[in-house]
Structure 1
Amino acid sequence: MSFSWTALASSPTLSTVPCYNDLQCARLTVPLQYSDPSAGEAQIALLIAPSTLSADDPEYRGPLLLNPGGPASSGVEYLLELGTYFREVIGPQYDLVGFDPRGVGATTPLSAFLDSPVEALDLLATYPLSLNESASSFGRAYALGRIMSDLAEQRNKLALESVSTPAVAMDMLAISRAFGFEKLNYWGVSYGSVLGATFAAMFPDRVGRVIIDGIVNSHEWYAGIYDSWLGHTEDALTSYYDACVAAGPDLCALYANSSSAIRSRVTSLLDTLHTAPVPASHNASNLGVVDAGLVLNRLFQTLFEPFSLGQSFAAALVALEAGNPLPVYEGTIASVIGGLDTCDAIKTDYFTAGFIDTFAPIACGDSVGRARQTLEDARAEYDRLVGTTGFWSVLYGLFRAPCSTWNVTAKDTFNGTFTTNTSEPILVISNTLDPSTPIDSGRNMSAGFTGSVLLEQNSTGHTSLSGFSTCTALAIRAYFASGTLPAPHTVCQPDTRIFESQGNSSAAGGVTFPAGSVLNRRETAGLERPAAFEAAVRAVRDSRFLSRHAFMGRVPRGAGWRA
């Protein structure tokens, strides 16, 4: 079922219309710049899955806002794809609200500064996937960053000055108030942890039930520092290889008798591809090249969601070794673009609401110029970081390089600290081996919020959504239901291991539900429909939302709650 957001009138009060079958849609009018009300207005797109409880039911708790991170990911799309999962985990007492942050999706004005999909394609096609592809790759990324910055300043400066994280935090308060509530209930993952922490620091007396999950160090975010992002990436990679050894040859195509042997095999393949990339073609109109940068990009995506992607990626690498590059090539942005028959087939919002137009304005704008660098300083920083993990050769150009030259800074800013006493304690969740938001950041942020508790999920992957844990799900449900926090130092185990149940149609998010499991014991889990819950968790696995929306490797939208 489609829905026209542009035809929906915006209002300063909450005015909803039916949409997407049994959901509600609205556009909320807010100031474009809270620091300057005369600057104009913005219209925030809201998708609402109403609570099944009546407003006068004592168990009804109002809106619970969801943010998928990015920055640049759509909360509307997030709820459409994963709404059944959130409803089953959280329970019936909240109106679940997916909202498109400023500059993203159906929220206006957009942060677009590229005039056409073709222009976006042009920039994507010339942007190096890895900065060690050639001697000029780093300089090319820096120069393209300057082009992006100049275009942004010339074409859409006012809108881009208005998409900061503090502005979105103020929007979240406005959304809660539009529902008639003065406190924020919230679950934000990845960059959404920055948004949640920013709200808590700006409005500590407006904090209701707030979960931040997959923690970015917000101190570093606003300083334009990215050093800690990949603190456990190599450990996560080792964990993936260890899981392959433990799974055995029947489940892991890369199997060897030791993790180091698998690492050597993959490293050898990357070394070969660095000097001898492999042509890939679906057909005469969809041609591409599989090189070391593309494979490293896919490997990093796999570490985001190893329970969902680990088995298929291992098989794809073995196929690549044997001369078949298509399994690795499929699903990359290169193959998606190559598969378009005509320019008319290019969806404008796919590009303009994505990485290019939105990540830099938010991330670089938040640092208000502190991340700017000369080419020489940027190269020195890159050399230092890539010495800690080769994954920086992929990520530095995508995440850090654009901020080195970014000129447009935010109008609504935050210059406070992340040390405060919130009106209700925050639940902080970190995976033991998160490849891009290490648990050290979770400890750092939790220490600043009085009374907060850090829940550790002992799994590899990005955020708790990457691998299902009954223990984590029950902790989340208890917190949102009653405010009950897990005991300090709680460690939750995942319900399965990487490779254990992938490819099994009964698996859900990397987990099967055996007879007698806690999710099948209604009185313990508090879940009314364990079969529905299993289906909901399976939808998380099949959606692969995190890896698709992590960075430029994203692919177009999949199916979800919209059906």
Structure 2
Amino acid sequence: MPRPIRTLAAAGLAGVLLGPMAAVPATAAPTTIGGATVTHRTSLQERLRVDRVPTPKLDWYKCYDYAECATVDLPLDYDKPKGATTEVAVLRVKARDQKRKIGSLFLNPGGPGGSGTSIALAAPFFLGDDVLDRFDVVGVDPRGVGASDQLRCFKSVKDQTRAYEGLNVAFPYTKDEEKAYVAASVAVAKACSTTGKPLSGAMSTAEVARDMDVLRRAVGDKKLNYLGFSYGSILGQYYANMFPDRVRALVIDGVLDPTAWFGAGKSGDLLQEDRMRSGQGATKALREILKRCKPAGVDACPLASGDPVALFDLVAKRLRANPLVFDDPDFGQFTFTYADFIGFALGSLYGPYGYYDVAFLTAELLLATDPSATVKARQQARGKVARVAVETRQQTRRYDFPYENGLETFLGVDCTDANHPKDAGSWPARAAAADKRDPYFGRVWAWATSPCARDSWTVRDEDRFTGPFNRRTANPVLVVGNYWDPATNYNGAVASAKLLPNSRLLSSDSWGHTAYGTSDCVTGAVDAYLLRLTLPKKGKVCVGDIQPFEDEPDWAAAARADTAKSDLAAAGTPRRGAPKQLPPVVAPLHVGTSAGR
């Protein structure tokens, strides 16, 4: 069964425990009546905001052959329910067994900035059959995103292109790149804080949670059923804490600690990455892959002929000193840099077969950068690396039209949701420190939020949610954490489960970003909970169906055979992602040049 979700697609944020963590805001303990613990209730303030909005009538129409679509106008500011509105797009795939339907299952793919309508449209490709039988699957494009009213921080594509110029690297690591990246970050932040208003100041996760509660009512459900991935775990936890008595079944997979995401008190002056430690999770996954390479042998892992850790480091050092330069008929002359290598490695780790991509590209780069190798061997290796570089550029290349707002939607949520340091000029030193702490990947994740510097991003959402994050929900929250997740550090799942008093942690020894769909054990446990509210046993640990170097993917074996038949034409170039992937409609989201969750 294909795995559901979001990638870095070059972009976003991840979460976990680490460093100085924000204190959990105090809240009244749930009352006890007759020895029974009573669920926290939705606050009076939130009830007044949301419940006075009339239940929208969704005028569904057939779309995409097997789905239904609708749009609805919702309050831009829930404190002014009769004021300005924003249009929100909704898509559903109806339950196959309407007579036995449980209700609607809301999905969110993460991001922030991922399209809920796209992941709902892809539901038949990755959700379990029983879930598809019993639930209408509903996806919502959050305000500002996708088919909803779009956030536009610039008046024209020309203005946007000029402002983005300094961001067109995987991440900055030279002094000149850092200077240009900071300047571009400030330009984007100021544009979103002016031209992007009022929508840029009304995109916080709390606003989306309020939208979801109104839409829950619109589809006729008394309580919410929800499955959220990656950043979608933040949306799920915000809903659980804002509307604790309105939860039927809530599952979060690839989990961010909301206190680390938000950053209360002094921790708000730290980088979000310093609080969440996504780089730590990615570094841990890479090191484990390289550790397992050696005993697997050279037939499974070409780095096994030496010290895999040292060989990866050698490639990184060579590329820092001398990037590879290529000539391409479509792109002209371009370079493959150290940042491109690390960005590719991180993107590969998002898929369960990422170990293969990392090992084989590293092996080709070793040869391509080895001055002692034969000219023919270097040329063959360079040809394979060039194919990867061209493929990456094709995936991330910006065209002049239409207006693409992926980076802006990511920032519209994160910069209004969370606390960040004041000065964008402080990011180079902070990112360097993060990379020293979490080699290779600390810098990637640190730079993801540079436009959020408070002196640059000045628009605010006065109604953002700041906690508490430890409310007792009507039904349990199932928290799924993956040991080797490169974007949402496993520690985030542990911390979130500890915060939520009525939750159950399900751990998985899985590879890639999120675990649903890559482990039959996890998929079965999630489906059982959604369908029957049956929780896995306490302390349950699943194992991913794909483990590094134990099985060669079919497409890799075919590539190996093709390589044996030809020289440069080889189709043996490592591929990004895994064949067990969602259709392009929900392929990894590339948010600007940063990493996404």
TM interval, short-chain normalised: 0.7 to 0.9
Confirm whether residue 315 of structure 1 aligns to residue 360 of structure 2: yes
Corresponding residue of 1:446: 497
Q: 1:504 aligns with which of 547, 554, 560?
A: 554
Residue aligned with 1:471, SS: helix
Please give the per-residue CA displacement for 1:221-264, whole angstroms capped at 9, x wherever unaligned: 1225332232332211112213433443233343335xxx1121
Q: Shift of the alpha carbon at 1:328?
A: 3.0
Corresponding residue of 2:177: 137
Residue 68 of structure 2 aligns with an amino acid whose one-letter code is Q
Confirm whether residue 414 of structure 1 aligns to residue 465 of structure 2: yes
Q: Shift of the alpha carbon at 1:205?
A: 0.3
Aligned partners of 1:495 and 1:101: how far apart in 2? Answer: 32
Q: 1:348 aligns with which of 402, 415, 420?
A: 402
Please give the per-residue CA displacement for 1:276-297, whole angstroms capped at 9, x wherever unaligned: 1112343144542110011111
Partners of 1:53 and 1:92 within 8 A in 2:
yes
Corresponding residue of 1:457: 508
Partners of 1:14 and 1:178 within 8 A in 2:
yes
Residue aligned with 1:96, SS: strand
Q: Shift of the alpha carbon at 1:542?
A: 6.0
Q: Check 1:542–1:229 CA distance in 2 against 1; reply closer, same or farther (3 A cut).
A: same
Confirm whether residue 329 of structure 1 aligns to residue 389 of structure 2: yes
Aligned partners of 2:425 and 2:64: how far apart in 1? Answer: 51
Corresponding residue of 2:85: 41
Q: 1:396 aligns with which of 419, 432, 446?
A: 446
Partners of 1:89 and 1:476 within 8 A in 2:
no
User: What TM-score do the two structures reach when normalised by structure 1?
Assistant: 0.81
Partners of 2:494 and 2:505 within 8 A in 1:
yes
Q: Check 1:547–1:309 CA distance in 2 against 1; reply closer, same or farther (3 A cut).
A: farther
Q: Shift of the alpha carbon at 1:379?
A: 4.4
Residue aligned with 2:388, SS: helix
Q: 1:365 aligns with which of 408, 411, 416?
A: 416
Partners of 1:15 and 1:26 within 8 A in 2:
yes
Residue 445 of structure 1 aligns with an amino acid whose one-letter code is S
Residue aligned with 2:90, SS: strand
Partners of 2:93 and 2:121 within 8 A in 1:
no
Please give the per-residue CA displacement for 1:347-373, whole angstroms capped at 9, x wherever unaligned: 525x22x12x11111101112xx3142
Confirm whether residue 279 of structure 1 aligns to residue 339 of structure 2: no
Aligned partners of 1:400 and 1:215: how far apart in 2? Answer: 22
Residue aligned with 2:273, SS: coil
Q: Shift of the alpha carbon at 1:118?
A: 4.4
Residue aligned with 2:206, SS: helix
Q: Check 1:94–1:539 CA distance in 2 against 1; reply closer, same or farther (3 A cut).
A: farther
Residue aligned with 2:299, SS: coil
Confirm whether residue 77 of structure 1 aligns to residue 128 of structure 2: no
Q: Check 1:552–1:294 CA distance in 2 against 1; reply closer, same or farther (3 A cut).
A: farther
What stretches of structure 2 of length at least 5 have no aligned partner?
1-54, 369-381, 558-576
Q: Shift of the alpha carbon at 1:124?
A: 4.1
Residue aligned with 2:458, SS: coil
Q: Shift of the alpha carbon at 1:408?
A: 1.3
Q: Shift of the alpha carbon at 1:380?
A: 4.5
Q: Shift of the alpha carbon at 1:23?
A: 0.9
Q: Check 1:542–1:95 CA distance in 2 against 1; reply closer, same or farther (3 A cut).
A: closer
Confirm whether residue 298 of structure 1 aligns to residue 344 of structure 2: yes
Partners of 1:214 and 1:442 within 8 A in 2:
yes
Residue aligned with 2:448, SS: helix
Confirm whether residue 265 of structure 1 aligns to residue 346 of structure 2: no
Corresponding residue of 1:249: 298
Q: Check 1:81–1:243 CA distance in 2 against 1; reply closer, same or farther (3 A cut).
A: farther
Confirm whether residue 475 of structure 1 aligns to residue 525 of structure 2: yes
Aligned partners of 1:235 and 1:161: how far apart in 2? Answer: 36
Residue aligned with 1:485, SS: coil
Please give the per-residue CA displacement for 1:104-154, whole angstroms capped at 9, x wherever unaligned: 10011x112133444444444421636653123333322222111111122
Aligned partners of 2:246 and 2:325: how far apart in 1? Answer: 55
Q: Shift of the alpha carbon at 1:502?
A: 4.6
What stretches of structure 1 of length at least 5 have no aligned partner?
1-10, 508-536, 556-563
Aligned partners of 1:90 and 1:247: how far apart in 2? Answer: 38
Confirm whether residue 115 of structure 1 aligns to residue 169 of structure 2: no
Q: 2:434 aligns with which of 382, 385, 402?
A: 385
Whose RCO is larger (CA < 8 A, sep 6+)?
2
Q: Check 1:19–1:208 CA distance in 2 against 1; reply closer, same or farther (3 A cut).
A: same
Aligned partners of 2:587 and 2:340: how far apart in 1? Answer: 14
Residue 354 of structure 2 aligns with an amino acid whose one-letter code is L
Count of matched residue pairs: 496
Partners of 1:547 and 1:554 within 8 A in 2:
no
Aligned partners of 1:379 and 1:284: how far apart in 2? Answer: 33
Please give the per-residue CA displacement for 1:373-393, whole angstroms capped at 9, x wherever unaligned: 225644443343222113122
> 13-22 vs 410-419, which deviates more?
410-419
What root-mean-square deviation, in Å, do the aligned CA atoms of Structure 1 and Structure 2 show?
2.8
Question: What percent identity do the matched residue pairs reach?
Answer: 26
Q: Check 1:265–1:125 CA distance in 2 against 1; reply closer, same or farther (3 A cut).
A: farther
Aligned partners of 1:347 and 1:502: how far apart in 2? Answer: 40
Residue aligned with 2:510, SS: strand
Residue aligned with 2:391, SS: coil
Aligned partners of 2:326 and 2:165: how far apart in 1? Answer: 16
Aligned partners of 1:113 and 1:119: how far apart in 2? Answer: 10
Confirm whether residue 221 of structure 1 aligns to residue 261 of structure 2: yes
Residue 118 of structure 2 aligns with an amino acid whose one-letter code is E
Partners of 1:288 and 1:335 within 8 A in 2:
no
Q: Shift of the alpha carbon at 1:169?
A: 0.3
Aligned partners of 2:410 and 2:233: how far apart in 1? Answer: 15
